[in-house]
Structure 1
């Protein structure tokens, strides 16, 4: 169950009763009664479960993990599933982060296990029949409370009670995320005072700014509960897919993937348009054929890593859509399964193969029981669900950044500098288009005395934006350089410039 409209009605009756009392003591009593009622409601009607052990992990979990469902929509027909992990440092004071994994349709568990959460797979010890989990010492939960949300509906273990409710879009996804966060905070009122940040990577570069705008509008309109929103974080973000992709030629030139001559020829013959090419422009088409010949065999997630012969990655357009142990296998997938059984002997063979362990682990019934997954909510878990009926109704999130830039928020945007899916040069281009004031130009930042990347500090009248590259990281950065990314976000949360050397 979950906090529904009837409980909101009771809550508001008590609130206004308290506010209308002339005696301050009576008002305080009414507000106290309201708080007590909310706490009682949260313990009765919200679907919350504290998870202390998980199959594959030795002993009790060394952090506080909660899972649950929150109903949103007019009749709570959308049931959004979440994983919440309290900060391992100071839950009362550390930021509260809502984390949205990309896709759209990629499970929050992907971000939790492969990117910024406190669990990961032990690839040296794991096998297809026995998946071993280990503690990740570079989890962002070292410095923040994090809600990992399975959104939009149809992602991970989130589901709907009607077929119509599965129809969603960029704006609808942001709206349901906003409703989720409001209800979650009402059932977790102790986190209302914590600084709130909205974060995500990859395709969430579209959703996060919309959601931040929704929260800002709600706060200004007096929507309860008022959220202590301080800013947002974007990693390897999709912003305007046309320009993101259009930056690949520039990126390839900087990385010596194409020759100087080809780069100059493309700039001349294609007039800066490398995506929607005029088919009658023979010179541009010839140049782009040469460009693709140079780059098509690269690993797009990280140009320096090996390209997998069979893709199991959740990267855009290169992952299996509905793979699970029950799937009817093709020759390629049988070959892939045979490879998986030998991975512990060749852990560095191919990063994409590591993603298959999540299918074996999460689709184990004992794991779903431990996570308190509702029976019948999903036929089978997939890392990224491409079957969601999704409308991309926001082609660019740049306008949202423009609207938000003078609201006093703190913004962190980071990119792996080897990412060929969303090259950092395209991300830097739209940031510069915001016409912010440069406070600190391109400069290195360090971890353990070594260059970890480069950063630029921007300012508005009452806010700031930090852009950072993460050296030798791909799509997305924390998966490739977890230690450096934890140091980056730790400094940023603490309002310490990234370039400060420790």
Structure 2
């Protein structure tokens, strides 16, 4: 296996994603016996076994007129029968992508449990190619699985983000989760295509649900969504300025443990690893020699694109790999933990549940199988990985769009340090003021849950005792973070209180 392939498996790109992806290797032209064996090992690490690398049916199972086909539903196995589907306001639907031959995007929409006037939030899981249902059931969605191993039943998540927002979970890019196409030319390869598809979807969504157009709108997600989120925010803002279609009331974007500026974030790997005693000073010095050629390769990706971007990934891969080689079976999504045998996480319930016939009937997905992570999508987006998506954020800040970057402190793969560095170094009118602002505690019920640095519309939050998936590890703090941020309260908790370094 090439160092590039090896890295991808460990690189900071989707919360489960990365893992997931490599897992499945891609199309036959990319596969080899070595890659296949590693893929099998990695997929077992997440206890996921998607049957196919992508849903590519011969005939469209949802051939209907109109852009959106949506239905209200209740999940089979949901223990709380006190509310009807109508009262819960849970929707599942397909949207036919107009700039495609036959692509349909699957989504969930959950109305707020608190107030329908709450903001509308869209959540994007990373990968590229991992389904947002992974977050829906294991992080910040309305549901969680019961601990009963024999009976796959659900209960309401006490800290689901639908307690503070009307939230949309989207399976994208095309081929992820229950999304599909009958024409493989619809597979996406970069952020322009991805953001246009999502913008088109949002236009159709708000046309279908006009009562929500007045609500504030926020874009959120994690890991490789550090690419998706800024791209979509820029596309929405551009559409609003040009008065395209329905005005989307964009107020902010939040990136959790994301990959946004690879050039800066790759440089942080050795520093983070040294600070957390994952490597020695001698190892730090040796691995550090790989950083200058990595930086040069990333610059070539930015100017030349195409193959230069894949080359940069190959060159930069060794930084992460060499750090891992000096650890003892560490879980690089949460360095407090080790993987037990092949198993680092067990997310198998989501695959089992969503592939049940009764569940698929309730959702209206026909006989399509749930593809937890699509290796085909992953492969198609390879030249997108090393691009810098920070570049579109300053203009959003200048126009008053709020930006929150948060990161669990125990994550290695998209660690807090690399995310803080790119936020700190980003050039905008408030750069100096942000750099000089004090670091203050983020409090939840009077207890310190993280460290916050902010100025104007920009905030950075390091979350305590959390790994790559903050809403899974610290659900109460994550929900409080969302509420405070949307309400404009995610600010310094004590005047003049400075805690340094972060």
Residue of structure 2 aligned with 1:101, choices 104, 112, 125: 125
Q: 1:286 to 1:302 in 2, by over 3 A?
A: closer
Q: How far off its partner does 1:289 sit? A: 8.6
Q: Which residue does the alignment assign to 2:5?
A: none
1:306–1:481 distance in 2 versus 1, CA, 3 Å:
same
Distance 1:262 1:138, change over 3 A: same
Q: 1:384 — aligned with what? A: 373
Distance 2:272 2:393 in 1: 23
Aligned pair count reads 401
Distance between the aligned counterparts of 1:183 and 1:287, measured in 2?
A: 43
2:398 corresponding residue in structure 1: 406
- Measured against aligned partners, the alpha-carbon deviations of 1:467-486 in whole angstroms (never above 9, x if no partner) come to 10110111121111111111
Q: Give the 3 Å change call, closer, same or farther, for CA 363–275 of structure 1 in structure 2.
A: farther
Residue 106 of structure 2 corresponds to 81
Distance 1:210 1:228 in 2: 16
Alignment RMSD (CA, Å)? 2.8
Shift of 1:288: 8.9
Q: Which residue of 1 aligns with 2:88?
A: 63
The answer for the alignment partner of 1:29 in structure 2 is: none
Q: Distance in 2 between matches of 1:226 and 1:291?
A: 47
Partner residue in 1 for 2:437: 440
Paired residue secondary structure (1:66): strand
Counterpart in 2 of 1:304?
336
TM-score normalised per structure 1: 0.74
- Give 1:364's aligned residue: 356
- Deviation string 1:232-272 (CA, Å, 9 cap, x unpaired) is 111111113354333211111121222345435655x5565
Q: Is the 8 A contact 2:481 2:490 kept in 1?
A: no
Structure-1 residue corresponding to 2:16: none
Separation of aligned partners in 1, 2:325 and 2:224: 27
Following TM superposition, by how much is the alpha carbon of 1:97 offset from its aligned partner in structure 2, in angstroms?
A: 0.8
Contact 2:178 2:371 in 1 (8 A): no
What is the CA distance between 1:413 and its match in structure 2?
Answer: 0.9
Corresponding residue for residue 15 of structure 1: none
Of the three residues 449, 454, 471, the one matched with 1:452 is: 449
Match of 2:251 among 230, 233, 249: 230
**Higher alpha-carbon deviation: 409-418 or 299-308:** 299-308
Q: CA deviation at 1:148?
A: 0.6
Please give the per-residue CA displacement for 1:312-347, whole angstroms capped at 9, x wherever unaligned.
xxxxxxxxxxxxxxxxxxxxxxxxxxxxxxxxxxxx
User: For the structure 1 residues 287 and 485, does the alpha-carbon distance in structure 2 shift closer, same or farther, using more than 3 Å as the test?
Assistant: closer
Equivalent in the alignment of 2:76: 54
* Residue 416 of structure 2 is aligned to residue 429 of structure 1: no
**Separation in structure 1 between the aligned mates of residue 389 and residue 157 of structure 2, nearest angstrom:** 32
Q: Which residue of 1 aligns with 2:275?
A: 254
Aligned positions of 1:162-311 closer than 5 A: 162-263=183-284, 266-267=287-288, 269-270=289-290, 291-295=323-327, 297-311=329-343
Supply the distance in 1 between the matched residues of 2:234 and 2:98 (Cα, whole angstroms): 19
Structure 2 length-normalised TM? 0.74
Whole-Å separation in 1 of the counterparts to 2:82 and 2:173: 31
Deviations along 1:7-38, whole A, 9 cap, x unmatched? xxxxxxxxxxxxxxxxxxxxxxxxxxxxxxxx
CA distance in 2, matches of 1:179, 1:147: 15
CA distance in 2, matches of 1:305, 1:286: 23
Q: Distance in 1 between matches of 2:354 and 2:321?
A: 42
Residues 117 and 141, structure 1, Cα contact 8 Å, conserved in 2:
yes
Q: Deviations over 1:106-162 (max 9, x none)?
A: 112111111111101123x223xx212222101111111111111111011111232
Moved over 6 A (4+): 274-277, 285-290
1:78, distance to aligned residue in structure 2 (A): 1.7
